[in-house]
Amino acid sequence: MIISRTRKELEIALNKLSEIPGKLALIPTMGNLHQGHLSLLTIAKKKASKTISTIFVNPLQFGKNDDFEKYPRTHEDDIKKLNDEGCDLLFLPLNNKEVFSSIDNIKTIKSGTLGLELCGKIRPGHFDGVLTVVNRLFEIIKPDIAVFGAKDYQQEILIRQMAKSLYPNLELIKAPIIRADNGVALSSRNNYLSEPELEIATNLYKCLYKSSISYKENIDLKVIIDEAKKYLNSYNLSPDYFELRDENLNKINVNGYDGKKAFLGSVNINKTRLIDNIEF
C-alpha cells in the first residue's frame, strides 16, 4: 500500500494508479478503523480495480462541545488494517493545509434545511463541515466510486444530494451497517463506552427493530414513538430524537406508508452520543 502524506505525494501516487485500467474507488474515514470501515473497502474492491482510503479528522465537522481533541488517532493500527485488506493507496494528510489550502478560506458547502434536522439540530454546522471536506476530497482525488456506510443515514443522503449536483458521474454506494454480535452498530464512539454501557447500548437497536415490527403490524405511529422513547429512557438511554422518515428523510407522521423508510434514533449514554437506524 502506498501512503501519501502530502498533496504532492498524493498526486504522484494517483498518477501511478491511473496507469492501471479500471475504476478508482474512494473510502473516506477519520481513522480509528473497525470492521465497519473495512467492510466499505471490501465492497469497493468488488466494484473497482483501484482503491484509495483517506484518514483525516476533519475539524470543520466538530462543534464547540464535540470531541475533536479526544477523537482516537490510531494511525499505526489503521495502516496495518488497510494494508492487510489490500488497500492500494492511503492519503493520511500531515496537516489541514494538505486538504485545505487555508483553513480560514474554504469553499463551504451548505447542507441546507435537511442539515439542520435530526443530528444537525444537535450539532449545528456539523453537516456543512462534512460536505465541505467530502467535496474537497472529491476535488483532489477525482474518484469514479465512493463508498459510505448506512449507519450515518443522514450524512449519506446529504452527500448523495451534493454529488448529484456537483459530481453527476460519480457512483455512490451505500454499504450496510455492520453490527457487533450483541447488535450494537460498530462505531469509533463505542470506544468511549465501558462493557456495561455497551450492553445497555444494545437496547437502541432492539428498540428500532421492535418499532419496525410494530409499524408493519399497523400499530399507531404516535404510540410506537412514545413507547420507544419510554423504553429508551427506562435504560437511561436519553434520546435526542426517535423518528420515522422516508428514504429521502422526509418525516412520516402517519401509518400506511408503503415506500422505503427508516426509524432513526440518537441516544446519549453519559457523555457519549450514539446513532443507529433500521431500514424497511
Which residues form the catalytic set?
Answer: 37
Report the C-alpha gap between 168 and 166 in whole angstroms. Answer: 6
Amino acid at 121: K
Work out whether the CA dihedral 191, 6, 14, 140 comes out positive or negative. positive
Specify the residue for cell string 443507529: 276
Contact status, residue 266 vs residue 122, Cβ threshold 8 Å: yes
Torsion sign, CA atoms 63, 101, 108, 166: negative
Kindly state the cell numbers that stand for 78: 489503521
Sequence-distant (≥ 6) Cβ neighbours of residue 45 within 8 angstroms: 25, 51, 86
- CA atoms of 150 and 251, how far apart (whole Å): 18
Beta bridge partners of 90: 3, 53
Question: Three-class SS of residue 278?
Answer: strand
Tally of CA atoms within 13 A in the half-sphere of 148 that contains its CB = 19
Amino acid at 238: S
| CA dihedral of 220, 224, 226, 231, whole degrees rounded to 10 | 160
